[in-house]
Structures are given as C-alpha cells and as structure tokens.
C-alpha cells in the first residue's frame, strides 16, 4: 500500500543545506496501522507530506498503491491523492470561504460525485457536529475544525489515511471518539492508517510504531497493545 525507500528531504536555508529527513525507508501493507512519533521538529509532518504526495523528496522514492509518486507531475499526484488518500492536516487547512458541510463535500465534488450532502451530513454527525454544518471555519473552535477536517478526510473512503496529530486539539472524550472513528474506518473499509502523534497511548494502538529523531528512524517496533485486527482480504 505504501513503500518508502531512502527518502531524503533537504531545504536550502541561508546558503546552507538543511536536511530534515534522511534515508527513511519502510513498507506498509493494505489495512496496516502505523504511527510516527518523535520530538517536535524531527520531520514527522515532512515525512507524512512526502508519503501522501503533497510534497516531493530531494531523493528517494514513494510508492502509493503501487504508483511511484516521484515520477509524476503535480497534477498527476493530485489525481492519485484524490483517488486514494485522505489527509488530516496538523493545522486543519479547511477552506475559509466554505462552510463546514461544504468543506466535507469538497473531496466528493472533486470526484464528480453528485448528491454528497447526505454523506457529508452523516460524517459531521459522527464527529459530533450535526448542527454546525452551516458554520464557517472561523466560527468553529480548533477542536471543531479538527473534526471537520476528519470528516472531510473520511468523505471519499480513502484507501490510506494520513493523520497529523488527529487528537492534538481535543479533550479526552472527543479524542476517544475520534480514535474510535479512525480505527472503525480501518476495520470496516480496510483503510491503512498512518498517524503522527505525540500521544504514546494512541501510538500503541497501532500495529507498528516508528520513532524518528533529527530526520532519521531511531526505532521501528511492533506494538503488543495494537487494536483493530484488520480484515484479511
């Protein structure tokens, strides 16, 4: 489902090369659940963006569902994302001029699916925002925006879901609901989950935990507390 090989990302900064990710490799099968943990600034968001084809590596390759992303143009990568990927951004990235409901509808409309309102409304309900569909992002709290972003990421039933700190702005109860939704999607639709989190309790719920530090993998282990046995298809 996802294969990452020798992924390296550097930025030119004040005339110097700043390497934020160095030679990262791993491979995930469909339905796997996976966490990336590590200190602030260690390269987690960068890695997630490269895996999802939002950004291009300086060297190395990413295969998503068998498609080698680094050989594709920007538009081709966008098409692959729309077809297979759900993404929950650390800073939500909701479109400010659209209401919550309209934001959730975007991936469906991009796919040319008509009459997605009911699906979008159901998703908002499931994240506890049934009555807030007509509100704009600025009228929602951080945690509420995070949940809209979650509903949007679920809308096209992605084959693989990338979530950057999906519970970072939520209280314990809402966080538990969100975690339940994530693993339910994994169980019911076989969606591969790739989570970035500072919450080690959440990380331990995934089958495999990779720790990165200073842009390199320092440990890669399997959790004995993983939940959500995935369908064997």
Ligand X SMILES: Nc1ncnc2c1ncn2[C@@H]1O[C@H](COP(=O)(O)OP(=O)(O)OP(=O)(O)O)[C@@H](O)[C@H]1O
Helix residue ranges, H only, 114-171: 117-126, 142-154
In 10 A of CB 162, how many CB atoms?
Answer: 27
The listed partner (Mg ion, ligand X, none) that binds 233, CB under 5 to 8 Å by sort, is none
* Residue closer to ligand X (CB basis): 30 or 214: 214
**42 interacts with ligand X by CB under 6 A:** yes
What is the smallest separation between the CB atom of 52 and ligand X, expressed in angstroms?
13
- Residue 90: CB minimum distance to Mg ion, A: 5
Give yes or no for residue 200 binding ligand X (CB under 6 A).
Answer: no
Longest dimension (CA), the chain: 52
Q: Is 44 in the site for ligand X (CB under 6 A)?
A: yes
3-class DSSP state of 229: coil
**Residue choice 45, 156, 192, 206 for contact with ligand X (CB under 6 A):** 45
- Provide, rounded to whole angstroms, the least separation between the CB of residue 39 and ligand X: 7
Residue 10 bridge partners (DSSP) = 19
Structure tokens at 146: 């995070």
Could you give the count of Cα atoms lying within 13 Å of 72 in the half-sphere of its Cβ? 22
- 146 part of the interface to Mg ion, by CB under 5 A: no
| Other CB atoms within 10 A of residue 23 CB | 14
Among 14, 16, 17, 40, binds ligand X (CB under 6 A): 40
Please identify, among the stretches 3-11, 84-92, 112-120, 181-189, the one whose residues bind Mg ion according to the rule CB under 5 A: 84-92
**The two three-digit tokens of residue 171, written as one number:** 């209280």
**80-119: contacts with ligand X (CB under 6 A):** 90
């Amino acid at each position: 489902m996802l294969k990452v090989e020798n992924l390296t990302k550097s930025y030119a900064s004040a005339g110097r090369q700043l390497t934020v990710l160095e030679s990262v490799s791993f491979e995930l099968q469909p339905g796997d659940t996976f966490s990336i943990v590590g200190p602030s600034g260690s390269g987690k968001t960068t890695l997630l963006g490269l895996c999802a084809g939002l950004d291009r590596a300086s060297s190395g390759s990413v295969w998503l569902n068998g498609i080698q992303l680094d050989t594709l143009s920007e538009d081709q990568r966008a098409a692959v994302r729309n077809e297979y990927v759900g993404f929950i951004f650390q800073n939500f990235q909701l479109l400010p001029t659209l209401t919550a409901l309209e934001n959730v509808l975007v991936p469906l409309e991009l796919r040319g699916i008509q009459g997605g309102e009911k699906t979008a409304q159901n998703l908002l309900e499931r994240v506890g925002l049934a009555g807030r569909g007509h509100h704009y992002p600025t009228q929602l709290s951080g945690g509420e925006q995070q949940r809209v972003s979650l509903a949007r990421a679920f809308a096209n039933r992605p084959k693989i879901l990338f979530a950057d700190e999906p519970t970072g702005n939520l209280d314990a109860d809402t966080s538990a609901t969100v975690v339940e939704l994530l693993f339910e999607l994994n169980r019911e639709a076989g969606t591969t989950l790739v989570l970035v989190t500072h919450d080690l309790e959440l990380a331990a719920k995934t089958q495999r935990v990779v720790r990165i530090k200073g842009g390199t993998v320092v440990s890669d282990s399997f959790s004995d507390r993983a939940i959500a046995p995935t369908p064997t298809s």
